[in-house]
Amino acid sequence: MNRGSVELLVWSSWRLQGVASVFATSDQGANGVASLKTLIGSKIKAVKCTAPAWDLWLEFSDGKQLITFSDHLEPDASIESNWELWTAGKHITAGPGSTLVEE
C-alpha cells in the first residue's frame, strides 16, 4: 500500500468545496468518500488551523478545499478527537473542544 507524506483522519464534520461549488460533505456517506478520492495525488498548497476549536482548512493544488468543523466537545463527546494528522515524526490531535496535542 502507498502512503502519503501527510495523513489526515477526520472524525468531525467536513466539507470538500471549490471556489464556486460544494463537491461533498461528511453527511453523504459513500458519495462523499468517492469525492474525497479525487484528492489522491493532489498537493497541499495552504493550511490554516484556527482556535479555539482548531477547525482545519486545507487548500489543494487543484483549487479544492477541505474544511473540517470541530464539533466534538466534552463532556460526553461521541468521539475523542475532531481530527488527527500524521507527518514525518509528528502526530497532532485536535479535540475534543479546544484541546490540541502534538507528539
Q: Which residues pair with 48 in a beta bridge?
A: 57
Mean pLDDT, rounded, for 23-31: 89
pLDDT in tens, 51-81: 999 999 999 999 999 999 999 888 888 888 9
Residue 4 predicted with pLDDT over 80: no
- Return all residues near 97 (Cβ < 8 A) that are at least 6 apart: 53, 72, 73, 74, 77
Q: What is the per-residue pLDDT for 1?
A: 54
Residue 45 predicted with pLDDT over 90: yes
Q: Which residues pair with 49 in a beta bridge?
A: 56
Three-state secondary structure of the chain: CCCCCCEEEECCEEEEECCCCEEEEHHHCHHHHHHHHHHCCCCEEEEEEECCCCEEEEEECCCCEEEEECCCCCCCCCCCCCEEEEECCEEEEECCCCCEEEC
